[in-house]
Structure 1
Amino acid sequence: MKALLALALSSLCATAMAGEAKTDAAQQQPVVEQYTYATHLDIAKVVSMSEVPNVCAVVPMKMEYDDSKGERHILSYKVMGNGCSNS
C-alpha cells in the first residue's frame, strides 16, 4: 500500500514539474514586436533574420536581436521582395 502511495505521489510531482518547465519556457520566449516609425531600436547584436523572398510584393520579415542590456527581442516588419525588375 505504501509503495502504491509513493508511486502515485512521485508521478504527481513529475507531472507538476513538467508543467512548470513548459511555463518557464513560454515566459522566456520574447513577444513579437511590430515595427513602426516610432519604434526605438536598440540593436546590439542581430541573432537571425528571415530571408527576403524572390517575389514582387511587400512581404513580412522577422529579425531576432539582442539589445544593449542583453535582452532578446523579435521584431516584425515589412519589406519589398527581391523579385521586381525594371525591364
Structure 2
Amino acid sequence: MNTKAVYAACLFAALNICTLSARAEATVKPETYTYGTHLDIKKVISMKQDATPTCGIINAQLTYLDSQGDTKVLDYRKFADNCHDDN
C-alpha cells in the first residue's frame, strides 16, 4: 500500500471521529448554571462566549466531559474578557 493511501485513510478516520463528536454535542441539552450547581468536569471540550467590544456581563457556554465520560453543556454568565481595568 502506498503512503498516499495510508495518509488518506488516516485523514478520513480523523474526520469521522470529529463529525461523531460534533453530532454528540448537538444532541446534548444545555444546563443553566445556578449558584450551588454541582460541577463534575473531567475534561473541557470547548468554551464559547458572546463577542462584545465593551466591558459587561455576557453569555458563555462550556462543553465538557464528566467523570462518566458523558458530554455535558453548561450555559452561564460572566464578565467579558476585556474588563481588565474596570470595576
Q: TM-score, normalised by structure 2?
A: 0.60
1:1-87 to 2 correspondences below 5 Å? 29-51=27-49, 53=51, 54-84=53-83, 86=85
Matched residue pairs, number? 62
Percent sequence identity is 35
Alpha-carbon offset, residue 86 of structure 1: 3.5
Q: Runs in 1 of length 4+ with deviation above 6 angstroms?
A: none
Alpha-carbon offset, residue 83 of structure 1: 2.7
CA distance in 1, matches of 2:79, 2:67: 29
Letter aligned with residue 35 of structure 1: Y
Instruction: Give the aligned CA root-mean-square deviation in angstroms.
Output: 2.5
CA distance in 1, matches of 2:56, 2:49: 14
- Unpaired stretches in structure 1, ≥5 consecutive residues: 1-24
- Answer whether contact 1:35 1:75 (CA < 8 A) is retained: yes
- Answer whether contact 2:60 2:77 (CA < 8 A) is retained: yes
Deviations 1:9-68 (A, max 9, x none): xxxxxxxxxxxxxxxx79x71111000112100000000001464421100000000000
Q: Whose Rg is larger?
A: 1
